[in-house]
Amino acid sequence: MSTQERVPYSDRIAALTHASIAPTSELTRLPSTSFFRSASAKESSSNRVGRTLATARSLGLFPGRRNVRNQVGRKVTNFYRFTLNELSNVRLSFQNRSQSSIVGRLLNEQGQVVSLGRNRLSERVRAGEMVRRSFEAIPSGTYYLKVSSRGAGKNAYRLTLAASNTVPLPCGCGQSS
């Protein structure tokens, strides 16, 4: 059984000889419940999850610890969203398991790289290397991790995010873990 309506050849020729040529969609029509249309729509929407700030994959509410394994490439960037419920110390461990450099960035809710003092929270991790960074007294809120690469192919990485709450000292002069 065919999923397309067939238009007789003679009707196609007649349509081509008229002064106004009928659009191709009138010659071959797919049913509105086409399997191919619905399958490709599902596939493309699921492949887009985590590819933009708006569709970032959620790592949840912190304090806590999360591990992520994924891959990026020239045309594929990964975004992860997490929320700190209060002032926190954050530890990031980033292992590049590929042959190309990968860049990891900590972004604020507006998608801008977070700066603490003079330090912007962006790190280039060379092929095969692991980088660990700790940041103290990160304010509560929603943050994003952006992972990208200019390298061709699939560039694998492992990311570990750990956050613990900090307690302000009564004097207001620092933080205590």
Mean pLDDT, rounded, for 32-48: 40
pLDDT digit string, tens, across residues 109-123: 999 998 766 666 788
Radius of gyration for the chain, computed over Cα atoms and rounded to the nearest angstrom:
25
Amino acid at site 34: S
Decide if 78 contacts 97 (C-beta within 8 A): no
Decide if 136 contacts 175 (C-beta within 8 A): yes
Give the Cβ contact number of residue 19 at 10 Å: 4
- Confidence at residue 21, expressed as pLDDT on a 0 to 100 scale: 35
Out of 28-37, 77-86, 137-146, which region has the weakest mean confidence (pLDDT)? Answer: 28-37
Q: How confident is the model at residue 32 (pLDDT cuts 50, 70, 90)?
A: very low
Out of 4-18, 38-52, 58-72, 77-91, which region has the weakest mean confidence (pLDDT)? Answer: 4-18
- Confidence at residue 135, expressed as pLDDT on a 0 to 100 scale: 84
Report yes or no on 20 lying in a domain. no
Domain containing residue 140: 52-167
**Residue with more model confidence, 136 or 45:** 136
Alpha carbon distance 148, 126 (integer Å): 12
- CATH number of the domain residue 88 falls in: 2.60.120.380
Report yes or no on 35 lying in a domain. no
Report yes or no on 47 lying in a domain. no
Of 123, 122, 147, 121, which Cα lies nearest the Cα of 51? Answer: 147
Report yes or no on 18 lying in a domain. no
Alpha carbon distance 102, 124 (integer Å): 6
Report yes or no on 11 lying in a domain. no
- What is the number of structural domains in the chain? 1
Mean pLDDT, rounded, for 47-75: 91
- Contacts of residue 122, Cβ cutoff 8 Å, sequence gap at least 6: 103, 104, 105, 106, 113
